[in-house]
Amino acid sequence: MPRAISVALAIALIATIGTSVTASVPEGFTPTRSATKARDIAGFALGMHIRDVESQAVTKRIAWDDYQTSKGGIDYDLGLTRLGHIYRMSSTQHLGNFAIDDEFLRALSAKLTAKYGPPVETTAGLFRWSLIEPVKRTGGDTLPYETNRAYANVEGGPDGVTLKIDMIDYRIIWHDDAMLNRAPRDEAGRKLNF
């Protein structure tokens, strides 16, 4: 069973289950376990600060935590923590007009496996990696949760074949939320009077 994540400080709204999860990770957090061997898509990596992205490509802010950019023929959509670190990224690479056949899928599978490691699931052009760890909700049970995942999907359409890769690591957002929560939480604790 995977090593448990330390839990207790930050609150993150987890869209995949729609509930609040309180989780803490150590200060200076660097994931020691990952769903994939590599944590980047062509150089932009989970945990990277937006300043480092902006030093390589022009970015456009779409919403408070959502940025878009392009680099090397790949379009990116980046989700940031409140401290500016990438915790979610999606990429789209346009590969041209051709029929996706078994030979192409074997070549794609070999390249994805070489970089990201063996997927936990592969079905007709969809590749999935997953890391499930025990996560404790504040005042609640410790339950298995998919803390880190990645998908790669190749598909054809009217504009040709695209390869889409998505990665997310909730531990990054939990860590940054915990860092931001620490001072106001401690201050509130000092103010307690009853």
Confidence of residue 192 (pLDDT cuts 50, 70, 90): very high
Q: Determine the pLDDT at residue 46.
A: 97
Confidence of residue 175 (pLDDT cuts 50, 70, 90): very high
Average pLDDT over residues 161-174: 97
Q: What is d(CA 152, CA 23) in angstroms, rounded to the nearest whole number?
A: 28
Confidence of residue 29 (pLDDT cuts 50, 70, 90): low
pLDDT, one tens digit per residue, over 96-137 is: 999 999 999 999 999 999 999 999 999 989 999 999 999 988
CA angle 27, 30, 31 (to 5 degrees): 125
Q: What is d(CA 58, CA 41) in angstroms, rounded to the nearest whole number?
A: 17
Q: Determine the pLDDT at residue 30.
A: 59
The answer, yes or no, to whether residue 5 has pLDDT greater than 60, is: no
Q: Determine the pLDDT at residue 24.
A: 42
Q: What is d(CA 2, CA 160) in angstroms, rounded to the nearest whole number?
A: 41
Which pTM value belongs to this model?
0.81
pLDDT, one tens digit per residue, over 39-52 is: 999 999 999 999 99
pLDDT, one tens digit per residue, over 129-161 is: 999 999 988 778 899 999 999 999 999 999 999
Average pLDDT over residues 169-194: 94
Dihedral sign for Cα atoms in the order 91, 92, 98, 102: positive
The answer, yes or no, to whether residue 172 has pLDDT greater than 90, is: yes
Query: Checking DSSP bridges between strand 66-71 and strand 59-63, what pairing results, if any?
Result: antiparallel
Q: Determine the pLDDT at residue 124.
A: 87
Rg (CA), the chain: 19
Give the Cβ contact number of residue 16 at 10 Å.
10
Beta bridge partners of residue 79, listed in sequence order: 66, 88
Q: What is d(CA 171, CA 184) in angstroms, rounded to the nearest whole number?
A: 21
pLDDT, one tens digit per residue, over 49-91 is: 999 999 999 999 999 899 999 999 999 999 999 999 999 999 9
Higher pLDDT, 8 or 132: 132
Q: Determine the pLDDT at residue 118.
A: 97
CA angle 175, 178, 179 (to 5 degrees): 90
